[in-house]
Amino acid sequence: MKIHETIAGLRTGLKSAGRVVLVPTMGNLHDGHISLMRQAHEHGDTVLVSIFVNRLQFRPGEDFEKYPRTFDADCERLIAAGVDVLFFPAESEMYPTPQRYFIEPPAELINILEGEFRPGHFRGVATVVQKLFNITQPQVAVFGKKDYQQMLVLSNMARELALPIEIVATDTVRATDGLALSSRNGFLSPTERVEAPRLHRLLKATRYAILAGERDYSRLESQAMVELRAHGWIPDYIAVREKTGLKLPTAHDSGLVILGAALLGSTRLIDNLEV
């Protein structure tokens, strides 16, 4: 695996790379990421992974500083997954001067759900991803559906800005007990780790109720939140939404997604399930 730390070096290195598939990450790689990389191989000639912990998408007081930086372990996993190129820029390479130009996704998509609890988050994500696209000029980019709202923000961005990039959205990878794999799972204590799959179980129960004909979505949402609180969680939201724009569902919607975010101890977990 070739590792580039500079934009210039990467651009030279990619000159005869053929169809480039980019998998942007913030590192601390787990099986969920590795599954993205394995799928990336099916979409092009060169799998390019970026590792960059992007300050722009964290608010003061969020976990930017304590976000795990595990470069050596990440490299081992990337090599084992057959990744061809790693882009690993320092902050001074990505943001040599303070970033003043931003991608501003539509308010109705970024001020709800994750965006309501993490103001500015998707602006930071969209800006760094657009910048990574400009730097790496991939033909394909792969994002996990675990961050469902992020995946929508980025695929809408690619479409509305007519970027010549195919966006591939991949399914969430789960532990055997259902917990969605996430870098943040590493912050859970052993007791919290046992409790953590409850979020997924509640999303599944909500989906089951919808498939059985329940249409009172707010009742289902409140029920799930009550259940989480009863087990020591602090839920931010459980929300049933239509799956293409995350609007409140109407009778005519053909596809729904149930999204949830909640604090377990000091770890904030998110998950979602398509119906």
Give the residue with the Cβ less far from ligand PAF, 46 or 54.
54
Which residue lies nearer to ligand PAF by CB, 84 or 147?
147
Would you state the structure tokens that stand for residue 248, as one six-digit string?
A: 């409140």
Q: Which of 4, 33, 121, 200 is catalytic?
A: 33
Q: Judged by CB under 6 A, does residue 128 bind ligand PAF?
A: yes
Nearer to ligand PAF, 26 or 261 (CB): 26
Residue 259 binds to ligand PAF (criterion: CB under 6 A): no
Q: 114, 149 in Cβ contact below 8 A?
A: yes
C-alpha distances (whole Å) from 32 to each of 1, 143, 170, 216 are 20, 11, 10, 33
Task: Establish if 136 lies at the interface with ligand PAF (CB under 6 A).
Answer: no
Q: What SS3 class is residue 12?
A: helix
Active site residue 252: no
Residue numbers 43-72 binding ligand PAF by CB under 6 A: 54, 57
Compute and round to an integer the Cα radius of gyration of the chain: 19
Residue nearer to ligand PAF on the CB measure, 22 or 210:
22
Residues 109 and 149 sit within 8 Å (Cβ to Cβ): yes
Query: Which strand ranges, in their side-by-side order, compose the sheet holding 20-25?
Result: 2-4, 85-87, 46-51, 20-25, 140-144, 166-170
With contacts defined by CB under 6 A, how many residues of the chain interact with ligand PAF? 10
- Select from 14, 21, 24, 170 the one that contacts ligand PAF (CB under 6 A): 24
DSSP 90-158: -HHHH-SS---------HHHHSSTHHHHSTTHHHHHHHHHHHHHHHH--SEEEEEGGGHHHHHHHHHHH
CB-CB contact of 27 with 54 (8 Å): no
Which one of 9-17, 121-129, 220-228, 265-273 is the stretch in contact with ligand PAF (CB under 6 A)? 121-129
Nearer to ligand PAF, 27 or 44 (CB): 27
Of the residues 17, 21, 26, 36, which one makes contact with ligand PAF according to CB under 6 A: 26
Using the contact rule CB under 6 A, the part of the chain among 18-26, 192-200, 230-238, 256-264 near ligand PAF is 18-26
CB 185 within 8 A of CB 191: no
Q: Rule CB under 6 A: is residue 25 a binding residue for ligand PAF?
A: yes
| Active site residue ranges | 33
User: Interface residues with ligand PAF (CB under 6 A)?
Assistant: 24-26, 54, 57, 125, 128-129, 147, 150
